[in-house]
Amino acid sequence: SGPWMCYPGQAFQVPALPGCRPVLKLQCNGSKVPEAVLRDCCQQLADISEWCRCGALYSMLDSMYKEHGVQEGQAGTGAFPRCRREVVKLTAASITAVCRLPIVVDASGDGADVCKDVAAYPDA
């Protein structure tokens, strides 16, 4: 395994993590996330290589914004009406830590618990 598995257009396609979408929406709006919902999200994320987990979360966030007509770089939070963009990004970036799943943040194999590339998502 390695980071080359995660790039779009390669044989490996990152799923949009449908189980993590409600976790993000609930957490961001200050609601309690039911244990079963969190478990589903964590299981989906666990099935993805630790090299690709942040990319999968980034793809999920990107697709949620696009579904609500928000283009990358555009202001607006249609997917999260009561949540500031920074909070949405940080919440998504921390899902790996909430699930206690390791991630690899760069080619040296260094690990972390929060996805910095998701937290740095463009102003969408």
Nearest by Cα to 25 from 67, 75, 53: 67
pLDDT digits (tens, 9 = 90+) for 29-75: 888 999 999 999 999 999 988 888 888 898 888 888 887 765 544 44
Over pLDDT 70: what percentage of the chain?
68
* Residue 77 domain-assigned (yes or no): yes
Range of the domain at 54: 19-120
Number of domain units in the chain = 1
* Residue 93 domain-assigned (yes or no): yes
* Residue 12 domain-assigned (yes or no): no
Residue 60 sits in a domain whose CATH number is 1.10.110.10
* Residue 7 domain-assigned (yes or no): no
* Residue 10 domain-assigned (yes or no): no
Structure tokens at 66: 């696009």
pTM for the model: 0.78
Considering only 19-33, 69-83, 92-106, which range has the smallest mean pLDDT?
69-83
